[in-house]
Every structure is written in structure tokens, then in C-alpha cells.
Amino acid sequence: MFNLVKGTHDVILSEADKYSYIEQTFIQVAEFFNYKEFRTPIIESSELFQRSVGDSSDIVRKEMYTFLDKGDRSITLRPELTAGIIRSIVNNKLLALGDIPVKAYYVGPCFRYERPQQGRYRQFNQFGIECVGVVSPYRDVEVISLCYYGLKILGFKNLKLVINCLGDDESRTNYKNVLRDYFAKHLDNMCGDCKERFKLNVLRILDCKDPSDQEIVKNAPRIEDYLTPKSKENFDKILKTLDNLGIEYEIDRNLVRGLDYYSDVVFEFHYTSSKGINYGALCGGGHYNKLIQEIGGPKDIEGCGFAIGIERIASVMNDDNLFADIDESLDCYVMPLDISYQNKAIEIATTLRLNGFKSDVNLEGKGLKGMLKKALKFNTKYALILGEDEVNSNKIVVKDLKEEKQESIELDELISYLDQKESEDCECHHHQNEE
């Protein structure tokens, strides 16, 4: 027996269906917003993340799975996907073609060496988007709204959009200077991490979760007083458009996010389940001014994106029973009553599948009762019984497991018989709806 590697988990059976459902929902929304899929490698050069996610981030400082490969290259399992997506956009010269914006979505696993806890894993899955070549604040709104509608379609209510503006370069330089002056006076009384953050990226101190540090953070100078008119104006436009779209938000001036590359608007969607469990951020994202250039792309091209954690979304949806609609039923279960009919059964199951009926076949020979039990376990609509009489007369018994009625049908007519039954079923639903 082998145990799971600490912090990892198997996603299997119905849980895997749920993950696919979440991913497919977001993929469809992204396609509706004219985003295209990007699949980039799980391994990238370590330097990519040092340059993008940033040397001062917790991720790069403590959480990366980094190793030397057999050719002595420093390789890292991606802790997030943005860096790889931008690298890919730059390498493939998608921006040089002048095709901006490049609108990319992605889905896949990420790796962070974090302390495992409720909803936090060392291998987890993200869906996300990047819009590269943002020249208008309304693109930022588009990115935020895509995330909002994805969550809405999944059934989330009472979402809290938490938003902040980190300002452009000039705003941030001015702000960081006053922050440094402020925190320099308090640093002796702050945690070790903050002392480190002070050296690497003073903005990160605003993110500190240490309660006694939070008192000091509360009285720190505020970014809003140092925003350039342009940053301020853009942020106001974003907020006003969110108002018009009916997306409620709360401004949190201490929201800086854990990755170094953000500037101007940053956001998270927070959610508390109906059981009162606060899951914190379901997703996070924001605007980035310098990232593309940092990764070797053209100057002055800006982007915006977000990532959601599939694990976190799934556990909230489990808590709040938002998965009700997933259909796990089977149309047909073919049951040969003797081993010698199995080849016939396989042929029938194949024909059913090719005609659009989700089907399985029993090859385990457990007798009629045992097979029916299995059919019920699979939530089957029609059990198809193949006994001696049927084989001899080229027929099959179709047992409707819901109505508990059965009929013997010519094999040649099986598909048209089932089609007919299905369309009656639909009409019946239709009439019920009308009533």
C-alpha cells in the first residue's frame, strides 16, 4: 500500500464529475466572452516565476516545488498559470501580430508547498483567464464580470466582490515611499515575516494576518491618497460600470494579493456558505502593467486576469447543495442471462452507444437479480434482458425501470422503439411544464 503524498488528494468518481462540471461551466462562459483555450506545460524554468510571481511573494520564497533536472536546469512545477500563459503568448509572438487583446483561458493543476488544511492542498486545480493588451478599464470590468457570471451560473448567491486599486507605477512608487517611512517606525514590534517583507516589497505588509501587526497596518497611510489622477479615474470608471451591471462590491484598501505582478485594479470573490463556513477567496485576480515586459514581451502592454480554485468551489458547492443538476444516470443496461450471449450483448450495447444511448453491459454473469441490482445502482432507465427466448427469436426485453413495465422488442426495432419512448418522455415533461 502506498499513501498519498502529503497535501494531495484523489479526485475520483462523482467528485471528478463535479470538477468537470465546474470547469465546463467556466469554459462555456469564457467561450461566450470570446476567450480561447491555452494549454501550457506544468514544468517551467524557475526563473519565470521568480521574475513574474516575484521574489518577495510567499509563493516564491517558501512554496515552490523546484528541482534540478538531469541537465542541471532549475525547473519548477507551476504554482499558478498566469506566468506560463504570458510566456506562451510572448514566445508565440501573438502580440507582435498586433492581435490585441489576446484572450486566453486555461484549466489545470498547480503546485504549492503550503501547510495542508481545509480547502488547501499542495496540488490543486485552477481555471483562469488572461486578457493581454488591455487598453481600457472596461476590459478589467469584463474580466471581473466573466468571473461573476461563471459563479452565478454555478448557483452562487451572496457573492462578495472585494476590490482595490494598487495604482500605476507612479502611484505605487510614491505610496511605497510613504509606507516605508511609516513601517520603519514600527518594524521592531512586527513579525519576522513583515521584517522580510519590508526589505522585499513593503506593500506585502498590508496583507499580514498577524493580529498585532494588523493594528499597525490599520493606521498605515492609504493608497487612495497616493493614486495618480489617471489611476483614480480608471478605478472610478470600473466601480461605476460594476454599479451599472448590478455587481455589488466592497472596497478593501488592504487587499494587495499574494503575487507581485499586480497593479491598478485587484479583486477577489469571497463567499460564506449557508452553513456559515467562510471559505475566504474563491478566486483572485487583477490588472498587471509590467508583467508582459518582465517576461520578455513588448513594453507598455498591460493585461488583466483571474484564477479560481476548483477545489474550493467544489467544497462550497457540496456544502450548499449546488450540485443538484448533475445527471449520473445510465440509459441502458444490457443483461445477457448466459455467458454464451455476451458477444450478442456487446453488439447491442455498441449499437445503442452509436445511436446516442449511454449504455453499459453486464459481463460478470451474476444472474437476473444481481444484474437488476446493478442496473438500479447505475440509475438506469432501461434494463435490456437477453435470455434464451430472446436470442432464439432475435428480440430483447426492454424493462422500463421507472414505470416498472416491460416489453419484448424485435432487435431491429430497438433503436426506433427507444427513440419513440424518449420523445414521449419529453412530451410528457413538456405537458407537465405547461400545467
Shortest distance in whole angstroms from residue 75 CB to ligand AMP: 20
Find the binding residues for ligand AMP in span 144-163 (CB under 6 A): none
Residue 166 in the binding site for ligand AMP (CB under 6 A) = no
Nearer to ligand AMP (CB atom), residue 135 or residue 153: 153
Alpha-carbon distance of 97 to 89, in angstroms, equals 11
Shortest distance in whole angstroms from residue 118 CB to ligand AMP: 10
Residue 213 in the binding site for ligand AMP (CB under 6 A) = no
Q: How many amino acids of this chain bind ligand AMP (CB under 6 A)?
A: 18
Q: Is 66 in contact with 76 (CB distance < 8 Å)?
A: yes
Q: Say if residue 83 is exposed, middle or buried (CB neighbours under 10 Å; 0-12, 13-18, 19+).
A: buried
Of the residues 26, 38, 105, 124, which one makes contact with ligand AMP according to CB under 6 A: 124
Alpha-carbon distance of 431 to 433, in angstroms, equals 5
Shortest distance in whole angstroms from residue 429 CB to ligand AMP: 37
Q: Which stretch binds ligand AMP (CB under 6 A): 119-127, 180-188, 294-302, 427-435?
A: 119-127
What is the grid cell recorded at 9?
488528494
Window 51-80: contact mask with ligand AMP (x via CB under 6 A): -----------------------------x
Find the binding residues for ligand AMP in span 265-324 (CB under 6 A): 281-284, 307-309, 311-312
Residue 289 dihedral angles phi and psi, to the nearest 5°: -90, -35
Q: Return left, alpha or beta for 280; rule: phi > 0 is left, psi -120 to 50 is alpha, else beta.
A: left
Q: Say if residue 371 is exposed, middle or buried (CB neighbours under 10 Å; 0-12, 13-18, 19+).
A: buried
The residue assigned the cell 504570458 is 86
Omega cis (within 30) before 298? no
5, HSE (Cβ side, Cα atoms, 13 Å): 9
Find the binding residues for ligand AMP in span 86-105 (CB under 6 A): none
288, HSE (Cβ side, Cα atoms, 13 Å): 26
Nearer to ligand AMP (CB atom), residue 114 or residue 224: 114
Three-state DSSP class for 320?
A: coil
Of the residues 126, 145, 263, 359, which one makes contact with ligand AMP according to CB under 6 A: 126
Nearer to ligand AMP (CB atom), residue 282 or residue 371: 282
Residue 258 in the binding site for ligand AMP (CB under 6 A) = yes
Residues that bind ligand AMP (CB under 6 A): 80, 112, 114, 119-121, 124, 126, 258, 281-284, 307-309, 311-312
